[in-house]
Amino acid sequence: MTLHRPKTVVVSDADNLAALQKQAKKQLADWRLEGLTLTITVGGHKTRDGVLWQPGQRVHVIDDEHGIDAVFFLMGRRFMLSRMDGTQTELRLKEDGIWTPDAYPKKAEAARKRKGKRKGVSHKGKKGGKKQAETAVFE
């Protein structure tokens, strides 16, 4: 027997229905983001292209044993070195396209329009745009 118990969340600072719907969308996306985390250990510290694994990369994971063939977002990595296994990297991956940063657009717009010098923020050498997905095959 399957039971369905809806989750009730009280939001006291919603101005209108549209704001409430955006917060609900964000909450659902956050729960989905928390729901699946892949932790994969790969050999070496670099991708096939010779670049170090970096958070923010998109990784195409193919795992026939678990039936996974999808693109995931690299949330974090840990470089490891041991005498027995050599260099390895532990990758923490989440579903790609789940996180919605547009949940609070008015506050984000106000922050972008703010005048003045931002302490500790440097935009030198940063490149925009989507990053290319790496492919990792596990058997």
**Hey, where are the domains in the chain?**
37-103+130-139
Give the rounded percent of residues in the chain with a pLDDT score beyond 90.
37
Q: How many residues does the chain have?
A: 139
Q: How does pLDDT run across 66-115, given as a tens digit for each residue? A: 899 999 999 999 999 999 999 999 999 998 887 755 555 566 666 667 77
What is the band of 139 on the pLDDT scale with cuts at 50, 70, 90? Answer: very low
Tell me which CATH code domain 37-103+130-139 carries. Answer: 2.30.300.10
For residues 91 and 59, the answer to whether their CB atoms sit within 8 Å is yes
**What whole-number distance in Å separates Cα of residue 42 and Cα of residue 74?**
13
